Amino acid sequence: MLWMPLLCWVAFWHAEVAEAQRIDVLGPQVRKYVQVSSPKAVLEHVQVIDGTGAPPSPDQNIYIEDGKISAISPGADLPSSEGTTIIDLQGYSVMPGIIGMHDPLYYLARPNLAADRSFEAPALFLPMSFSAPRLYLANGVTTIRTAGGVDPYTDLKLKRGIESGVLPGPHLDVTGAYLDGPGNQNLQMQELGGPEDALGRRPRSVSTISNTASSSIPNWTLIRSLIAARPVAAITRSNACALEVMRRID
């Protein structure tokens, strides 16, 4: 059984936009992924998986108008009409876009990786700002939370490009750079030397947490190697800046 996320249509390009983005405001990189540009569309003879846990509904027609599903009815062959694109998708399944809660925009490279999974430190985070957004969409993921990153300002710029219709990708909930304690050999993680770093009493922490609040990054990820005093301080500082904090325990 084939499946097709609704993101293939301009009407569902961005989950947070109340009205469908017009095809003429989309950049060329986005347009080539858009199959339908009419204000109305009908997906004929699809199997509907509604995400509630209910059994799939076979042979349904989905009616889309102005960026929203306006109706779902039993499958039928409809006559063509002006302003409406009709697509026969018999054999396909349609489901809501997936919300990814831990979807990074990088690849973790382990130099000289051996068969026993050993490698030469340090591991490196390699940005995937081009391919990752397209891969998420191709697999039906329409909203992601990065849950940690190494270049949050790049992630923010990517988010703005997606929201403006210039770049293809899912809705991004951007997380700030990882906050870690001493001993982690990854060179790209922010190391907090003590509670003072998290509370903003040293310059490097001010540029990390406080500046994040003014950069539209809503949350942070704390790594497991932070000792007790540091995550408490980081959480205290983040709460003062109205930021969310996640803690990795794996």
3-state secondary structure the chain: CEEEEHHHEHHHCCCCCCCCCCHHHCCHHHHCCCCECCCEEEEEEEEECCCCCCCCEEEEEEEEECCEEEEEEECCCCCCECCEEEEECCCEEEECCEEECCCCCEEEECCCCCCCCCCCCCCEEEECCCHHHHHHHHCCEEEEECCCECCHHHHHHHHHHHHCCCCCCCEEECECECEECCCCCCCCCEECCCHHHHHCCCHHHHHHHHHHHCCCCCEEEECCCCCCHHHHHHHHHHHHCCCEEEECCC
What global pTM score does this model have? 0.75
Same domain, 229 and 129: yes
| Tens-digit pLDDT profile for residues 129-147 | 999 999 999 999 999 998 8
Which of these three, 80, 95, 110, is where a domain ends? 95
For residues 84 and 238, which has the higher predicted lDDT (pLDDT)? Answer: 84
Same domain, 87 and 123: no
Banded pLDDT at 198 (limits 50, 70, 90): low
Same domain, 106 and 220: yes
Mean pLDDT of 50-77: 94
Tell which residue, 189, 213, 209, 191, has the closest CA to residue 200.
209
Same domain, 127 and 149: yes
Same domain, 110 and 201: yes
CA distance 11 to 6: 8
Same domain, 64 and 78: yes
Same domain, 87 and 109: no
pLDDT at 181: 72
In the structure encoding, which two tokens stand for residue 77, read together?
């062959």
Same domain, 42 and 82: yes
Q: Is the pLDDT of residue 200 over 80?
A: no
Strands 2-5 vs 84-88: parallel, antiparallel or unpaired? unpaired
In the structure encoding, which two tokens stand for residue 231, read together?
């995550």
Q: What percent of the chain has a predicted confidence (pLDDT) above 70?
A: 68
pLDDT at 13: 40
Question: Which residue type is seen at 165?
Answer: G
Q: Is the pLDDT of residue 235 over 70?
A: no
Domain count, the chain: 2
Same domain, 125 and 225: yes
Give the range with max mean pLDDT: 63-67, 211-215, 237-241.
63-67
CA distance 156 to 176: 10
Same domain, 60 and 182: no
Q: Is the pLDDT of residue 191 over 70?
A: yes
Q: List phi, psi (to 5°) of 232.
A: -60, -45
Which of these three, 60, 95, 130, is where a domain ends? 95
pLDDT at 208: 47
Q: Is the pLDDT of residue 168 over 80?
A: yes
Tokens 């081009």, residue located: 130
Scored b (16 or more CB within 10 A) or e, 35-64 reads: ebbbbbbbbbbbbbbeeeeeeebeebbbbb
Banded pLDDT at 234 (limits 50, 70, 90): low
User: Containing domain of residue 21, as a range?
Assistant: 2-95
Which of these three, 62, 77, 95, is where a domain ends? 95
Same domain, 163 and 86: no
Mean pLDDT of 221-250: 52
Same domain, 146 and 53: no
Least confident range of 19-33, 34-48, 49-63, 221-235? 221-235
Task: Enumerate residues 6+ apart whose C-beta is below 8 A from 104.
Answer: 132, 146, 147, 148, 149
Largest CA distance in the chain: 69
Q: Is the pLDDT of residue 196 over 90?
A: no
Where residue 131 sits, what CATH number does that domain have?
A: 3.20.20.140
Q: What percent of the chain has a predicted confidence (pLDDT) above 90?
A: 45
Q: Is the pLDDT of residue 239 over 50?
A: yes
For residues 120 and 201, which has the higher predicted lDDT (pLDDT)? Answer: 120
